[in-house]
Amino acid sequence: MSDPIPEQRSVLVTGGNRGIGRSIAEEFLRRGDRVAVTSRSGEGGPEGALTVAADVTDGASLDAAIAEVEAAHGPIEVLVANAGITDDQLLLRMGDESFESVLDTNLTGSFRTVKRVIKSMMRKKKGRIVLISSVVGLYGSPGQVNYAASKSGLIGIARAITRELGSRGITANVVAPGYIDTEMTQELSEDLQSSYRSAIPAGRFAAPEEVAKVVAFVASDDAAYISGAVIPVDGGLGMGH
Ligand SMILES: NC(=O)c1ccc[n+]([C@@H]2O[C@H](COP(=O)([O-])OP(=O)(O)OC[C@H]3O[C@@H](n4cnc5c(N)ncnc54)[C@H](OP(=O)(O)O)[C@@H]3O)[C@@H](O)[C@H]2O)c1
């Protein structure tokens, strides 16, 4: 007898038009889910996904995007809060505005998105929330006080949700990538890239697909008993942290 056809879930990936988010969206599409992605322009998601416009710093744009996704695909059952930015500067030079804008996108932006999908997950007594953090949130990194603060804050969100809603079939986890080959890391100088590479036990950066497969597992039925966890995908860089 062949395996039963898996249920098609309504999946939303923020920042799914490029980089890690795009690979995550492609992985869910491969697994047969109904996938929507946000981008700020409203364009550029992978083929087969619904692309909607949203800026995670703007609650009204998220309201409109989520309404559009739910009208097309039904209530969101899997949320991957992936949209994120860096604005690296040493602490002495980092202004309030830089700190606040990175927090507003990476941390408050994830909160805003979670807040808008959680009610329907509670009603269904089923849901998967995956927050894309970073090894930097645990390990620290010079020039990234703003980014590290935003990424460690996501762990608090996942763990508080787990305690609030763990009994309702909802899991909330953090995936913490190390250095992944995307535009975000391609911007780093060659020198910096090779010094990072030498610190990574695996000796290389990862492809975005390597993160995507872990996210898809954490969002699967097989991971129903994993919640409040921080799952590293970092080639060993952050081990012990
Ligand atoms: N690359 C790495 O090595 C690495 C390592 C650890 C963690 N991460 C995390 O993984 C996530 C994805 O990173 P990436 O490397 O794929 O980055 P990326 O290639 O720079 O893509 C960033 C994504 O976030 C979206 N985004 C940024 N600001 C937004 C906002 N205000 N509202 C809505 N969307 C916004 C972008 O949308 P637009 O195209 O519309 O700008 C884009 O889709 C981030 O949270 C990042 O911190 C990355």
Mark residue 204 as left, alpha or beta (left: phi above 0; alpha: psi -120 to 50; beta: remaining): beta
170 in a structural domain:
yes
**Mean pLDDT score, 218-228:** 98
Which atom, in ligand 1's list, is nearest to the CA of 179?
3
- Phi, psi (deg, nearest 5) at residue 165: -125, 10
Residue to mutate (ligand 1; options 82, 175, 215; most atoms within 8 A of CB): 82
User: pLDDT digits over 147-201, tens only?
Assistant: 999 999 999 999 999 999 999 999 999 999 999 999 888 888 888 888 889 999 9
Structure tokens at 42: 């409203």
Using alpha carbons, select from 13, 57, 49, 14 the residue that is nearest to residue 32.
49
Give the structural domain span for 212: 10-181+208-231
Q: What is the DSSP string of 78-123?
A: EEEE---------GGG--HHHHHHHHIIIIIHHHHHHHHHHHHHHH
At 184 the pLDDT is 84
Q: How far is the CA of 19 from the centre of ligand 1 (A)?
A: 7
Structure tokens at 89: 């500067």
Q: What is the pLDDT of residue 69?
A: 98
For residue range 99-148, list pLDDT tens digits in order.
Answer: 999 999 999 999 999 999 999 999 999 999 999 999 999 999 999 999 99
Residue 94, domain member (yes or no): yes
179 belongs to the catalytic site: no
Is residue 87 situated within a structural domain? yes
The reply to whether 173 falls in a domain is yes
CATH number at residue 48: 3.40.50.720
Q: 3 in a domain, yes or no? A: no
Span 1-19, pLDDT tens digits: 556 666 899 999 999 999 9
If one counts the domains in the chain, the total is: 1
For residue 239, pLDDT over 90 is answered with yes
Element (H, E) at 21: helix 19-30
**149: in domain:** yes
pTM (two decimals):
0.97
Backbone angles phi, psi at 81, to 5 degrees: -90, 100
pLDDT of residue 104: 99
The predicted structure's pLDDT at residue 189: 84
Catalytic residue among 139, 147, 196, 225: 147
Atom of ligand 1 nearest to the CA of 40: 40
User: Does residue 121 fall inside a structural domain?
Assistant: yes
Would residue 191 count as lying in a domain? Answer: no
